[in-house]
Each structure stands twice: as structure tokens, then as C-alpha cells.
Amino acid sequence: MAAKKNKDQAVDCPVGRFFMDLEDCMGKQSKFFKHMTRSKVEFLKGIRSLLDARIDHYEKNGSKKTDKKMTKIKID
């Protein structure tokens, strides 16, 4: 269960901090905040699409291993 946020709680993510500050200024019931909440969802969906594309890339191509082997070099 998510803990309730308070004003003293530190937020490392600048995007999260931005939305917390907006919530404090505008209130959760404002029309503006409702739009911002939807934009958070869209932002996260955009991140998810980037991750999905990267996962597909790795699943399709696999990790490219070379047949090169390490060679021990003696240094004087």
C-alpha cells in the first residue's frame, strides 16, 4: 500500500516533484490538476513504449557475443 505523501517528504524525481508542487498549489479538484493527472499517465505510457521497444530489440537480436577471447599480456 502506498504511503501518504507529505510536504516534508523528499522527491528525487523532478517530474514527481513538479506534480507534487502543482497538487499543493492548485488542489486535486481543479480542472487543471485533472488534466495534469492525465498527462502523467500519458508520460508513463510514453516511457513504457520506449521500454517495450528496447525489450523487443533485445529479444529479436539477442545479446551479440563475439568469438573473441581474452589474451593475457605479460607486462615488464
Q: How far apart are CA 70 and CA 42, in angstroms?
A: 46
Question: pLDDT class for 7, splitting at 50, 70, 90?
Answer: low
Question: pLDDT class for 1, splitting at 50, 70, 90?
Answer: very low
Measured CA to CA in angstroms, residue 15 lies from 3, 7, 59, 67 at distances of 19, 16, 30, 43
Asked if residues 33 and 23 have their Cβ atoms less than 8 Å apart, the reply is yes
Residues 39-71 have pLDDT tens digits of 888 989 999 999 999 999 989 987 666 667 888
Question: pLDDT class for 25, splitting at 50, 70, 90?
Answer: confident
List the grid coordinates of 11. 522527491
Sign of CA dihedral 15, 17, 20, 24: negative
- Percent of the chain residues topping a pLDDT of 90: 20
